[in-house]
């Protein structure tokens, strides 16, 4: 076999191994790990897009333009509702990203000199490969593809001078769209625009600058539209830390823990968890320190080159080396400044992880010395070998029994679904990590919602209005998922006087057939027009707590809370009162820490309940089931007593706040239940 054929055979073998490694991880994932709520949201949203909707944000999220969902739309009817269907399109996006990265590399440096760095694209960080082939954090594979395409267009702008405006516009559009898709693309956006504008031939700027800016405006349009029409969009993800705190995050944990594990050295078992591989303990710290030292050296070198070009050409020029060095450096800088980044936020380093192999390319302008090339090649081969080893170990860990539950908290939900089908229940509530799986795996036959938006409180919750309006709803909960767990829900039911059928099916507890206890069900609202409200302070405004509008309120206008302040409701005739409900709405912060309840009976005023804290109702009981996420209300149950008036009296005040009540409702007890006697005969 001659040398040429040997090279071809070796190349085919390497490509086969790269494909086999990805196929191994993909088949492992769809065999051992059900699709998560994160993953299935893209498909569920794609169904909505196919029906004519044009969302600006990912379902239930305050950020991310759902590019992945738009790309998945043509295939939603063809894909099965299982792990394969949820991961197939992102898998293709991952393959496309790798292909375009290789294209960029070959545009910059011929294969004969770039093949070692190409190995790091074929055998990348085990963490990156996990995201591209095994578990797809929503929108991240589309993000990486858009970033890669933006860089490719920027490079072609330098290489193909025939159509500078076209390539510049494409680079701006793709970089802007990547930014709209996820803010983590900001380093790519900044460096691509600078790369277009800091061209070594300034005369191209007359065409390129307007083109790249026009493309950028168009690409970021979804971001600006979301800010304009969806109040609160992106607000939860744009906080920045102070410089001292950022420095403390950089060292030690970013350099010695987060960065090297994102680069593939002892990565996390599952994105983005605390559990990590420990194949070669301590190696990750060494790699992190070496990487940052090399990156700093690269930043200094590129700054020197820009200065030299500026002096020589009287115009600053950004080279391709500066492009990739800038992407990596800005990614690391924004990571430590990001208020949301933690020690496990590996995904926020993805632009660095994807583009760092380009830092290892030899200079296209200058031939490197043979010893330097040998050292570079050997180092890259070692890193690629470690990446392969870590990927295999990671895939093996996914095959261990119980991995889906122990590491990913993704238990098999089919036993619970089967029970709901037996009961004829088509609407359910579950915590985020399980809710949308039920809708996806049943292809909409069971509509499941979060009780509230658990990740972004106060934000829109998909399917919630439909579930809340249903009269036959189940709650499907598990102790393995944070937020609303069975033991918490049990406590809420007891507190609110609600019973249910409670059944265990696999890892989940199914609650159904909700009923209020007899005493709670027997409460009847006293008609508001039968109430007369008054107060110790600002009594003229007390009527605003009885107008049926929670947006209006009574408050101790100009007076802070004091012990003995009272708010009173009287009615037209003696009634057997059993509970009151206070609506605080958005003024819960104005509640007293402790209150007393007094009743005016035949013998005068009597204290019936003392020292009541301002505890908000856990849920409302509507349409025969608990409904979370309503406005802030507090129900105070009292022993049923015949009385003409009721008073809320401040026992312990908050001296730095006024007292506000938006609505006060009073309930009387059904005559069929016993009444606590009043006066001298009361025991």
Q: What is the pLDDT of residues 313-348, one digit of tens each?
A: 788 889 999 999 999 999 999 999 999 889 999 999
Cα 666 to its chain centre, rounded Å, is 41
Closest CA to 186 of 230, 159, 219: 219
User: Could you give the dihedral angle defined by the CA atoms of residues 239, 245, 248 and 250, in that order, rounded to the nearest 10 degrees?
Assistant: 30
DSSP, residue by residue, 185-214: GHHHHHHHHHHHHS-SSGGGHHHHHHHHHH
Residue written as tokens 């690391």? 332
Strands 554-555 and 523-525, by their bridges, are unpaired
CA-to-CA distance for 464 and 449, rounded, in angstroms?
5
Q: Which two tokens stand for residue 110?
A: 């011929």
For the chain, give every domain's residue range.
414-516, 525-681
Cβ 276 vs Cβ 268: under 8 Å: yes
What backbone phi and psi angles, to 5 degrees, belong to 325?
-65, -40
Strands 427-429 and 473-477, by their bridges, are parallel
* Nearby residues of 540 by Cβ (< 8 Å), 6 or more positions away: none
The predicted pLDDT at position 681 comes to 35
Residue written as tokens 């609407």? 427
Within 10 angstroms of residue 109's Cβ, the number of other Cβ atoms is 18
Q: State the 10-residue block means of pLDDT for the chain, 683 residues long.
A: 78 92 95 93 93 92 93 92 94 96 94 91 96 92 97 92 89 97 96 91 81 96 95 86 88 92 93 87 88 94 88 85 96 94 93 96 74 86 93 94 90 96 97 94 95 91 95 95 93 95 96 93 91 94 93 91 95 91 93 94 90 93 94 93 94 94 93 48 34
CA-to-CA distance for 563 and 584, rounded, in angstroms?
20
Within 10 angstroms of residue 172's Cβ, the number of other Cβ atoms is 30
Q: What is the DSSP letter of 338?
A: B
DSSP H stretches of helix in 33-66? 37-50
The predicted pLDDT at position 674 comes to 52
Closest CA to 176 of 185, 163, 168: 185
CATH code of the domain occupying 525-681? 2.60.120.260
The predicted pLDDT at position 320 comes to 92
3-state secondary structure 408-444: CCCCCCHHHHHHHHHHCCCEEECCHHHHHHHHHHCCC
**How many residues are there in the chain?**
683
Checking 374-383 for CB contacts under 8 A at 24+ apart, the result is: 376/116, 377/116, 380/116, 380/117, 380/119, 380/120, 381/116, 381/119, 383/120
CA-to-CA distance for 489 and 528, rounded, in angstroms?
32
Q: How buried is 465 (Cβ within 10 angstroms: 0-12 exposed, 13-18 middle, 19+ buried)?
A: exposed
Is pTM beyond 0.75? Reply is yes
The predicted pLDDT at position 368 comes to 65
Q: Which two tokens stand for residue 492?
A: 């809420």
CA-to-CA distance for 613 and 147, rounded, in angstroms?
53
Could you give the angle at which helices 205-219 and 186-197 cross, rounded to 10 degrees? 160
The predicted pLDDT at position 8 comes to 85
């Amino acid at each position: 076999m001659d040398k040429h054929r040997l090279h071809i055979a070796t190349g085919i073998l390497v490509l086969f191994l790269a494909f086999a490694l990805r196929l191994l991880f993909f088949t492992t994932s769809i065999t051992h790990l059900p699709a998560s709520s994160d993953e299935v949201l893209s498909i569920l949203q794609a169904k909505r897009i196919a029906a004519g909707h044009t969302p600006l944000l990912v379902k239930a999220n305050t950020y991310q333009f759902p590019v992945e969902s738009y790309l998945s739309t043509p295939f939603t009817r063809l894909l099965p509702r299982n792990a394969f269907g949820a991961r197939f399109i992102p898998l293709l996006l991952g393959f496309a990203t790798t292909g375009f990265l290789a294209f960029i590399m070959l545009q910059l440096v011929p294969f004969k000199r770039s093949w070692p760095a190409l190995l790091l694209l074929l055998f990348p960080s085990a963490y990156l490969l996990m995201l591209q082939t095994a578990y797809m954090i929503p929108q991240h594979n589309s993000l990486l593809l858009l970033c890669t395409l933006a860089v490719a267009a920027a490079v072609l702008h330098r290489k193909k001078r025939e159509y500078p405006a076209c390539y510049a516009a494409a680079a701006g559009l793709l970089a802007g769209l990547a930014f709209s898709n996820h803010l983590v693309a900001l380093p790519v956006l900044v460096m691509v625009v600078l790369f277009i504008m800091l061209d070594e031939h300034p005369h191209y700027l007359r065409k390129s600058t307007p083109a790249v800016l026009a493309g950028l405006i168009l690409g970021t349009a979804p971001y600006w539209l979301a800010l304009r029409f969806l109040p609160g969009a992106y607000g939860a993800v744009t906080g920045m830390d102070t410089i001292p705190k950022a420095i403390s995050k950089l060292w030690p944990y970013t350099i010695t823990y987060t960065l090297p594990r994102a680069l593939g050295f002892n990565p996390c078992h599952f994105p983005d968890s605390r559990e990590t591989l420990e194949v070669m303990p301590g190696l990750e710290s060494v790699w992190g320190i070496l990487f940052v030292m090399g990156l700093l050296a690269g930043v200094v070198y590129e700054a020197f080159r820009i200065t030299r070009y500026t002096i020589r050409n009287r115009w600053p020029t950004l080279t391709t080396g500066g492009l990739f060095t800038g992407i990596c450096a800005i990614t690391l800088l924004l990571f430590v400044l990001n208020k949301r980044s933690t020690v496990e936020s590996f995904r926020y380093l993805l632009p660095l992880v994807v583009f760092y192999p380009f830092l290892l390319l030899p200079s296209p302008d200058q031939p490197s010395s043979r010893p330097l090339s040998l050292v570079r090649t050997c180092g890259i081969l070692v890193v690629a070998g470690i990446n392969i080893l870590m990927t295999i170990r990671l895939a093996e860990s996914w095959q261990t029994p119980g991995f889906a539950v122990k590491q990913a908290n993704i238990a098999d939900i089919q036993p619970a679904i089967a029970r709901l089908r037996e009961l004829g229940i088509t609407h359910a509530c579950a915590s985020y990590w399980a809710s949308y799986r039920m809708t996806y795996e049943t292809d909409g036959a069971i509509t499941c919602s979060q009780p509230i938006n658990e990740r972004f409180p106060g934000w829109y919750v998909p399917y919630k209005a439909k579930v809340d309006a249903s009269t036959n709803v189940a709650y499907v909960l598990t102790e393995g998922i944070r937020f609303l767990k069975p033991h918490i829900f049990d406590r809420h039911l007891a507190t609110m006087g609600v019973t249910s059928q409670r059944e265990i099916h696999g890892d989940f507890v199914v609650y159904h057939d909700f009923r209020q206890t007899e005493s709670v069900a027997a409460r009847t609202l006293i008609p508001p027009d039968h109430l007369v409200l008054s107060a110790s302070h600002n009594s003229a405004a007390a009527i605003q707590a009885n107008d049926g509008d929670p947006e209006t309120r009574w408050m101790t206008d100009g007076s802070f809370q004091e012990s003995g302040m009272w708010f009173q409701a009287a009615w037209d005739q003696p009634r057997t009162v059993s509970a009151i409900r206070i609506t605080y709405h958005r003024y819960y912060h104005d509640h007293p820490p402790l209150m007393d309840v007094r009743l005016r009976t035949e013998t005068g005023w009597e204290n019936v309940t003392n020292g009541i804290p301002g505890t908000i109702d856990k849920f409302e009981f509507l349409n025969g089931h608990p409904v979370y996420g309503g406005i802030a209300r507090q129900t105070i149950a009292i022993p049923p007593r015949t009385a003409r008036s009721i008073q809320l009296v401040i026992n312990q005040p908050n001296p730095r706040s006024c007292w506000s009540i938006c609505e006060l409702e009073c309930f009387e007890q059904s005559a069929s239940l016993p009444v606590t006697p009043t006066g001298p005969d009361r025991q």
